[in-house]
Amino acid sequence: MIQRKNPANGNDANARSATSTLTNVPTSDLGPTLSGQERPDPAGIGKQTRTKVVAASFIGNFVEWFDYAVYGYLAVTITAVFFPESDPSTGLMLTFALFAISFLVRPLGGFVWGHLGDRIGRREALSWSILIMSAATFCIALIPSYNTIGIWAPILLLIIRVVQGFSASGEYAGASAFLVEYAPAHRRGLYAAVVPASTATGLLLGSLLAALLTGMLDPEQMQSWGWRLPFLLAAPMGLIGRYIRTKLEDSPVFKELAKEDNAVKAPVSALFKNHWRQLVQAVGAVLLNAVGFYVILSYMPTYLSQELGMDETSSYMATTVALVTYIGFIFLTGMLSDRFGRKKVLMTASILFVVLTVPAFMLLDTGNFLVIVLVQILLGGMLSLNDGTLPSFLAEMFPTRVRYSGFAVSFNLSNALFGGTAPFVATLLIASSGSLLAPGWYLMGAAAISLIAVACSVETSKKALA
> What's the CA gap between 386 and 106, in Å, rounded?
21
Q: Which of 173, 197, 174, 182 has its CA nearest to residue 49?
A: 182
Q: Alpha helix (H) ranges present in 120-193?
A: 122-140, 146-149, 152-168, 171-182, 188-192
Q: Dump pLDDT digits (tens) for 216-252.
A: 888 888 888 998 998 888 788 888 878 878 877 887 7
- Distance between CA atoms of 311 and 309, rounded to whole angstroms? 6
Backbone angles phi, psi at 33, to 5 degrees: -130, 135
Do residues 269 and 43 lie in contact, with contact meaning Cβ atoms separated by under 8 Å?
Answer: no
Specify whether the CB–CB gap between 183 and 192 falls below 8 A.
yes
Range 186-213 average pLDDT: 87
Predicted pLDDT of residue 260: 65
- In sign, the C-alpha dihedral spanning 285, 289, 292, 295 is negative
The count of other CB atoms within 10 Å of the CB of residue 246 is 12
Domain spans in the chain, listed from the N-terminal domain onward: 45-262+270-455
How large a percentage of the chain has pLDDT more than 90? 29
pLDDT digits over 274-296, tens only?
888 999 999 999 999 999 988 88
pLDDT at 355 over 90: yes
Tens-digit pLDDT profile for residues 22-55: 333 333 333 333 333 444 444 467 777 888 888 8
Strand partners, 463: 33
Q: How many CB atoms lie within 10 A of CB 459?
A: 12
**Residue 44 DSSP SS3:** coil
How far is it, in rounded angstroms, from Cα 255 to Cα 263?
A: 10
CA neighbor of 246 nearest in space, from 329, 342, 129, 152: 129
Match domain 45-262+270-455 to its CATH number in 1.10.287.540, 3.40.50.720, 1.10.260.40, 1.20.1250.20: 1.20.1250.20
CA–CA dist 219, 235 (Å, integer): 26
pLDDT-based confidence at residue 262 (cuts at 50, 70, 90)? low
Confidence of residue 417 (pLDDT cuts 50, 70, 90): confident
Query: Running DSSP on this structure, what letter comes out for residue 25?
Result: S
Q: What is the mean pLDDT of residues 288-313?
A: 84
Please give the average per-residue pLDDT across 344-369, as a whole number. 93
Q: How far apart are CA 217 and CA 249, in angstroms?
A: 45
- How many Cβ atoms from other residues are within 10 Å of residue 54's Cβ? 17
CA distance 275 to 408: 14
Torsion from C-alpha of 86, 88, 90, 91, nearest 10 degrees: 60
d(C-alpha 304, C-alpha 315), whole Å = 6
* pLDDT for the residue numbered 409: 92
d(CA 153, CA 171): 27
Lowest mean pLDDT among 81-85, 189-193, 222-226: 81-85
Q: What's the rounded Cα separation, in Å, for the pair 437 and 430? A: 8
* pLDDT value for 305: 84
Q: What does the pLDDT read at residue 384?
A: 93
Which of 357, 373, 359 is CA-nearest to residue 310? 373
Of 65-79, 164-178, 416-430, 439-453, highest mean pLDDT: 439-453
Q: Which residues contact 236 (CB under 8 A, 6 or more apart)?
A: none
Q: What integer pLDDT is reported at residue 11 of this predicted model?
A: 41
pLDDT classification of 263: cutoffs 50, 70, 90: low
pTM for the whole thing?
A: 0.77
Mean pLDDT on 119-139? 87
Q: Work out whether the CA dihedral 121, 237, 334, 439 comes out positive or negative.
A: negative
CA distance 319 to 328: 15
